[in-house]
Amino acid sequence: MNSILILHGPNLNLLGEREPEIYGEKTLKEINEFLISLGLELGLEVRTYQSNHEGDLVDTLQNACSWSKGAVVNAAAYTHTSIALHDTIAAVHFPVIEVHISNPYSRETFRHNSLISSVCRGTITGFGWRSYELAIRALAHIIENN
Ligand code: DQA
């Protein structure tokens, strides 16, 4: 079975309690459980990982090169600041889909710029936790057609 990585960046461990009017009421654990079972339906092993540390996210993406066919990345605040993540996504040899729960373009201007979009296969924003679902479905399609 093909495997994919779902990578969650800083503060996403607080989903459910963090600004629920923006990020919804589901916890990260609930979202991950849904994504793992969706993956099985689509014939994909979904491995999830969350970190608040930029270098840890870089290491995890690099290490995924040995086992993953693709990744869904919500880099959270590092989306707007991390040249390191941009460079890692450019370096890995699998498709990466950028995801956001909220729509950053309808929020503060500092969220309007993504440093990773240009090296991602595509971006899905603004559909709540379902943004992850849409991204996994897109990734399954990309992997199938490769
Ligand atoms: C986010 C949007 C980012 O601007 C923010 O820093 C986050 C979450 C989202 O999923 O909507 O932490 O990536």
C-beta of 111 in contact with ligand 1 (< 6 A): yes
Confidence (pLDDT) at 65: 97
Q: CA 4, 15, 138, 79 torsion: positive or negative?
A: negative
Q: Where are the domains of the chain?
A: 2-144
C-beta of 116 in contact with ligand 1 (< 6 A): no
Nearest-angstrom CA–CA distance, 100 and 67 = 24
The CATH number of the structural domain formed by 2-144 is 3.40.50.9100
Centre a 10 Å sphere on the Cβ of residue 48 and count the other Cβ atoms it contains.
19
Nearest-angstrom CA–CA distance, 94 and 18 = 31
Q: How many CA atoms lie within 13 A of 33 on its CB side?
A: 5
C-beta of 104 in contact with ligand 1 (< 6 A): yes
Contacts of 95 (CB under 8 A, 6+ apart): 70, 71, 121, 139, 142, 143
Q: What is the pLDDT of residues 6-61, one digit of tens each?
A: 999 999 999 999 999 999 999 999 999 999 999 999 999 999 999 999 999 999 99
Q: What is the DSSP letter of 48?
A: E
pLDDT bracket for residue 146 (50, 70, 90)? confident
8 is catalytic: no
Q: What is the pLDDT of residues 100-113, one digit of tens each?
A: 999 999 999 999 99
Whose structure tokens read 């959270």? 76
